[in-house]
Amino acid sequence: MVYEFGWVDRLLPGTCILCGTASGQPRDLCTPCANDLPWNEHGCPRCAMPLPDAQSAACGHCLSKAPHFAACVAALRYTYPVRQLISRFKFNADLASGRLLSQLLVQRLITLGAPAPGEFVLVPVPLHPRRRSERGFNQAERIARIVAHGLRQNLQAGLVERVRQTPDQKNLTAAARRANLRGAFRAGSCAGLRVALIDDVVTTGATADAISAAMLTAGAREVRVWCLARAI
């Protein structure tokens, strides 16, 4: 995929966040580095799992056990240098990396066909209050604010709450992740809403699935997932 810059990108030059050269763009990414990014061009339309070739049908896992969300868009694959940029954003409060990745997600969604203004309500994956206090911010909410502004969508950051702090999911299997998240989220009234759930990384999809189930139970008409990256 070739990254195309719009007229807004040409207003002010910047420095590439990856190679350190003058990018000529305010998004802190030069064109060669942008073109070398691991774009998730051939993802499962349901869960965004990277696939070797483009296909309209869902992957085998989604065909055998469909998630509660209707579709997932992941701008990038969770490999170098995306993994490092996301880590800097989440754990070192590198907001420049977060802003860049969020803008790339906006660009990807526009490429796929931007939604009409106000078509979706954007809901960031919530952190437990204790985790948010430790980190100082919710990375998904930062992403959601940039995407909402870029696509002219509404944002409801408090529509879903994480009511139970769960152990780290990093080393858990998909089944263990689902069990770990049972009862962890509570959704407010979602009557008739088309929701885009925003997150940084989708790994197995267990978190997105649990939140989507809660929102559908609360009356959402449809839930989609928009994220920066999809794990392979």
Which of the four pLDDT bands, split at 50, 70 and 90, describes residue 25? low
Q: What is the pLDDT of residue 3?
A: 43
Q: What is the pLDDT of residue 2?
A: 43
Domain 37-230 in CATH 3.40.50? The answer is yes
Q: What is the pLDDT of residue 7?
A: 39
Closest CA to 114 of 143, 151, 147, 146: 151
Torsion of CA 110, 114, 120, 123, to 10 degrees: 0
Which of the four pLDDT bands, split at 50, 70 and 90, describes residue 122? very high
143: enclosing H helix or E strand: helix 139-151
Statement: residue 70 has pLDDT above 80: yes
Statement: residue 12 has pLDDT above 70: no
Cβ distance 37 to 190 under 8 Å? no
Torsion of CA 82, 127, 65, 112, to 10 degrees: -50
Q: What is the pLDDT of residue 4?
A: 42
Which of the four pLDDT bands, split at 50, 70 and 90, describes residue 21? confident
Q: What is the pLDDT of residue 10?
A: 43
- Examine residue 124 and say whether the peptide bond preceding it is cis (omega within 30 degrees of 0): no
